[in-house]
Amino acid sequence: MFSKLSVVVASVLITLAAAIPNTTPPVTTPTSDQCCNSVVPSSSAAASAVAALLGLDLTGLNVPVGLSCSPITVGGNNCGSTSVVCDAPDKEWGGLIAINCIPITA
């Protein structure tokens, strides 16, 4: 039962990814403090997989990419993961990915 469900879900995700036109995200000066679960090269398999689901093409970009990010609040750095400043289009990509992430040094 569950194996059939996983095949259906995978098929739907692949179909959606194929239907979304790939766009290259702009790379601008990072301005948004983010707490990301991980920061990986834009050429990594993890970044490529998330980007593909969102219809993004990271080919040719050579920047650090934050995965599973959320904004750091004004109340303080409550980040238990990696604190970075990024191009963080959380409205566009729902916090799944952030582009051009640079570590925050205190």
Least confident segment among 16-30, 44-58, 72-86: 16-30
Q: Containing domain of residue 48, as a range?
A: 22-103
- Please count the structural domains in the chain: 1
Task: Note the pTM of the prediction, 2 decimals.
Answer: 0.68
CA dihedral 96→93→59→99, nearest 10 degrees, is -70
In a domain, 74, yes or no: yes
In a domain, 4, yes or no: no
In a domain, 3, yes or no: no
Question: Of the candidates 92, 86, 84, which has an alpha carbon nearest to the alpha carbon of residue 51?
Answer: 92
Q: Tell me what percent of the residues of the chain surpass a pLDDT of 90.
A: 15
In a domain, 2, yes or no: no
CA–CA distance, 56 with 23 (Å, rounded to integer): 5
What token pair was written down for 5? Answer: 């469900």
What token pair was written down for 68? Answer: 């599973």
What digits encode the pLDDT tens for the residues 12-22? 455 545 555 56
In a domain, 44, yes or no: yes
In a domain, 47, yes or no: yes
